[in-house]
Structure 1
Amino acid sequence: MRADLRPDRSAQTSGPTRAAILSVMDVRGDDGCRLWVEQAGTGPPLVLCHGGPGLWDYLGPLARLLDGHARTIRWDQRGCGRSQRRGPYRLGRFVADLDAVRDQVAGPRTAVLGHSWGAHLALRYAIEHPERVSHLIYVSGTGIDPDHGWHPHYKRNLRLRLGPQLDRWEALSAHARTPAEERERAVLQWSVDFAEQGTALHHAERMATPWLGINHECNQALNAEVRQELSNSDMAGRCRALDLPVLIICGTEDIRPRWAVDSLHHALANSRRVSLAGAGHLPWVEKPDDFRRAVTDFLKQ
């Protein structure tokens, strides 16, 4: 592991003082792939898994909420953001990369938090390595039900919430895009992930800054594999065998249907579910105090 300590100006905030100087480093997967990692804060380790797939880590604001409560460890998944642009884009490989981050930075046992696609990655990691996970936090995931797909409902709700921006989003979606157009399309699409539409574009712009590009090959490959896995494996049975505390958090205004998570909640032996009213897909942005309280109370268990 090569560590490169330096301050991250984008992480500075007018809120509480940072509990520890940021450290930024490269971690190597077991196949040599270089993974960008940042850790900050003090307390028990908490590894954060961003969504996508094919995006980069955007969980800095979430990490800052937990200063003094956890040593947060953020990373860009392979092929994404500041990590090496290298496959293969397979679920097993991403689980192995998460284990490398855990082993080289977090220690022998850690809490793991995943958001959206990252929630499924964190769940799969806990299933594969339960002895290495102390707590699992599943944020705005889409569940494990293979029979009641959530995506058609998401696509319909996406178009409804885009409203007057729908025509522009569809025009951008209909042809090959320049990097600037790719960013514009992403900002429009991400804006529907916030409940308060008056500030939604502002929040989406912040997510897209800096713009590190979307790895569409990674996105398509992993989404296809997850769909196949949910259809062909007994994920509910594997979740029933999972003996560790799980916190499921979502926003009531997420355009992904919340009933999609019911099967996961019912399958887990030791889970708590928290729904934050008035929040969308990124509940820590719109309900930061409630989100912090739910997570820190859970981590004290």
Structure 2
Amino acid sequence: MDETAATGDRDETVLTDDGVRLWATRTGGGAGEPVILCHGGPGLWDTLEEPAALLPDTPAYRWDQRGSGRSQRSGPYSTDRSVADLDAVRRHFGLERVTLLGHSWGARLALAYALDHPALVSGLIYVSGTGIDDDSTWHPAYKEAFHRKLGERRGRRECWEELRERGDGRTEAEDREYAILQWSVDFADRDRAREHAEAMATPWFGVNYTCNATIGAELRRPGATHGLRERCAALRVPVLIVDGEDDIRPRWSVDSLEGALPDVTRTMLAGAGHMPWTEDPEGFRTAVGAFLRGVSHRGDSR
């Protein structure tokens, strides 16, 4: 097992192959299929305590990606580096094979890991991702929906734009408010959207905008999706795609991935946005729990 430093009853430090310290934790129990959860961003921190708690009989491993949250703020930042860090988490906890649950950018990361290391992955749960086509195919529709939703409540769009203009000049409190306003559009229930966004921002660890910009630029570069369809078609790992029906990222963007995968199930949760476990916890629990039982059964049959 790699170097471990306890920071809480179940909190641990994972040491990567290039010496960067990552925060990680294990929750849940039982003999169920182990799951590593990959949070969104990039440049954010683990916000997946809630979905992990919906699976109490599942050993769940959560972590802050490099440069984010409780992990060491140190690059380099790239998809390949993130895949290597994810493998360090797997090895740290002594997991031979694992199911991955990735959310948003974390869904991309989990898919990239499965494509690079299919023998180490029992299953993939792809939550609120954006598929395998070029970002330019869906991002304009997302941007339009973002500004429309942000403008539904008086003054919110103006406040967000003012904070955006301040950039690096924002105070920590202003940076948190900027994130809350931005995240509030990701929930279908507009009356509780800010409440949900504030919960995501508590505790506040600060966004790593350098990480976000660096990996974002990598994902948008010409040819970034070249060969993905063919690689997905060859993936012999069961995949569950989970979408919130009211996610402002167009759900048709995921059709490209669904069409390429040979072993895929897709669940659409009505009345839910980008964090579907928050607005339809029972639907999320049912879909993911059934998938994990199926993966475990496959493992028992091998």
Q: Please indicate, yes or no, whether the TM-score normalized by the shorter chain is above 0.5.
A: yes
3-state SS in 1 of match to 2:23: strand
Shift of 1:29: 0.7
Query: Matched residues in 2 for 1:6 and 1:147: separation?
Result: 39
Native 8 Å contact 1:46 1:106 kept in 2: no
Contact preservation (8 Å) 1:45, 1:106: no
Whole-angstrom distance in 2 between the partners of 1:282 and 1:232: 25
Q: Which residue of 2 aligns with 1:167?
A: 158
Amino acid at match of 2:21: R
- Alpha-carbon spacing, 1:140–1:232, altered in 2? closer, same or farther (3 Å): closer
Choose from 2, 5, 28 the match for 2:4.
2
SS where residue 77 of structure 1 aligns? coil
Structure 1: stretches of 5+ with no match in the other structure: 8-22
Q: Distance in 2 between matches of 1:233 and 1:104?
A: 32
Contact 1:49–1:74 (CA under 8 A) maintained in structure 2? yes
Deviation at 1:45, TM superposition (A): 1.1
Give yes or no for the alignment of 1:39 onto 2:32. no
Partner of 2:43: 54
Q: Deviations over 1:192-248 (max 9, x none)?
A: 000000000000000000110000010011111122275452100110010010000
Task: Note if 1:66 corresponds to 2:59.
Answer: no
Alignment check: 8 A CA contact 1:33 1:78 kept:
yes
How do residues 219-258 of structure 1 correspond to structure 2 at under 5 angstroms? 219-228=212-221, 231=224, 233-258=226-251
Q: How does 1:59-138 map to 2 (within 5 A)?
A: 59-68=48-57, 70-105=58-93, 107-138=95-126
Deviation readout 1:160-213 (Å, 9 max, x if unpaired): 111221111111111131111111010011000000000000000000001100
Question: In structure 1, what is the Cα distance between the partners aligned to 2:290 and 2:95?
Answer: 22
Structure 1 residues 283 and 229 mapped into 2: Cα distance closer, same or farther (>3 Å)? farther
**Do the aligned residues in 1 keep the contact of 2:135 with 2:220 (CA within 8 Å)?**
no
CA distance in 2 between partners of 1:287 and 1:156 (Å)? 25
Cα distance in 2, alignment partners of residues 265 and 227 from structure 1: 21
- Of 166, 173, 178, which residue of structure 2 is paired with 1:180? 173
Tell me if the contact between 1:28 and 1:35 (Cα under 8 Å) persists in the aligned partners: yes
Structure 1 residue matching 2:268: 3-state secondary structure = strand
**What amino acid sits opposite 1:202 in the alignment?**
E
Which residue number in structure 1 is paired with residue 273 of structure 2? 280
Could you say which residue in structure 2 is the equivalent of 1:17? none
Name the CA shift for 1:178/1:27 in 2 (closer, same or farther; >3 Å).
same
For 1:27, what is the secondary structure of its paired residue? Answer: strand
- Corresponding residue SS for 1:198: coil
Q: Distance in 1 between the 2:66 and 2:136 partners? A: 30
**Secondary structure of the residue that 1:273 maps to in structure 2?**
strand
Question: Alignment partner of 2:247: what SS?
Answer: coil
Q: Answer yes or no: is 1:207 the counterpart of 2:200.
A: yes
Supply the RMSD in Å over aligned alpha carbons: 1.3
What TM-score do you get using the length of structure 1 for normalisation?
0.92
SS at match of 2:192: helix
Secondary structure of residue in 2 paired with 1:174: helix
Letter in 2 for 1:253: D
Partner amino acid for 2:14?
A: V
Name the CA distance, whole Å, in 1 between partners of 2:137 and 2:227. Answer: 16
Quote how far apart the aligned CAs of 1:90 are.
1.2
Moved more, 241-250 or 39-48: 39-48
**CA distance in structure 1 between the partners assigned to 2:181 and 2:89 by the alignment:** 32
Counterpart residue type for residue 206 of structure 1? A
**Matched positions, count:** 285
**For the residues of structure 2 that align with 1:278 and 1:171, how far apart are their CA atoms?**
30
Instruction: Give the one of 255, 260, 278 matched to 2:253.
Output: 260
Q: How far apart are residue 46 of structure 1 and its match?
A: 0.2
In 2, the alpha carbon distance for the partners of 1:232 and 1:296 equals 31
Q: CA shift at 1:147, angstroms?
A: 7.3
| Contact persistence 1:192–1:200 (CA under 8 A) | yes
Structure 1 residues 57, 199: closer, same or farther in 2, change over 3 A?
same
Q: Larger deviation: 125-134 or 170-179?
A: 170-179
Partner residue in 2 for 1:19? none
Deviation digits for residues 83-137 of structure 1 (CA, Å, limit 9, x no counterpart): 0000000111100000010111151100000000000000000000000000100
- Structure 1 distance, partners of 2:12, 2:160, is 37
Amino acid at match of 1:184: E
Equivalent position amino acid for 2:18 in 1: D
